[in-house]
Amino acid sequence: MEEASGKWEELKKGFWKFFDKLLDVMAGCAAVILVFITAAVCYTIFMRFLFNQTTIWIIPMTEYALLWIVFLGTTWLLREAGHITTDIIYVHLNEKAKNALDGVMSVIGGLTCALLVYLGIVHLCDCLIHGVTDVRALTIPKSAVFIIIPIGSILLTVQFFRIAWSKLVTRNER
């Protein structure tokens, strides 16, 4: 029985190591996209100012890229606790109450993201079934733009429940 428990712990450790590496890679991709869109916008401003010409594909691609940046980087930011918090009441709580509040808020966040996964998949399927495209400077299938929503939301759901588990269950075991 103890051997099975040890293997389970090793499996969990391996999963979370992979998961954390995935988040790091996705955050890195978000950073690269951010650099690209910054350079692209600077380029189009430069071209407009000096040559009175613009590159029409930059604005829609920047819009799509911003969506991708959000869903590529948000889970990493949540893991790093880099988000903004309002702590007017929170600072006055003891550690046990803080853990309970963090756990409950993480469960709510996880459930909300799970709903976003569902809605994202429904919208993605709708775009695929109906062949919805965005026709502006470039014709792009909307499914290619929106596929990041369920992917990023799945990872956010897992991370929220990971935090909830650590705050509600693991803390109580000690």
Q: What span, in angstroms and rounded, lies between the C-alpha atoms of 127 and 140?
A: 11
* Helix (H), strand (E) at residue 135: strand 133-135
Quick: pLDDT tens for 108-137: 999 999 999 999 999 999 999 999 998 887
- Give the DSSP H or E segment for 141: strand 139-141
Q: What is the pLDDT of residues 132-172, one digit of tens each?
A: 998 887 889 999 999 999 999 999 999 999 999 999 887 65
Tokens of 93: 């709580």
Distance in Å from the first CA to the final CA of the chain: 22
pLDDT digits (tens, 9 = 90+) for 49-86: 999 988 888 999 999 999 999 999 999 999 998 887 77
**Residue 72 to residues 22, 65, 69: CA-CA distances in angstroms?**
10, 10, 5
Domain boundaries, the chain: 2-173
Stated length of the chain? 174
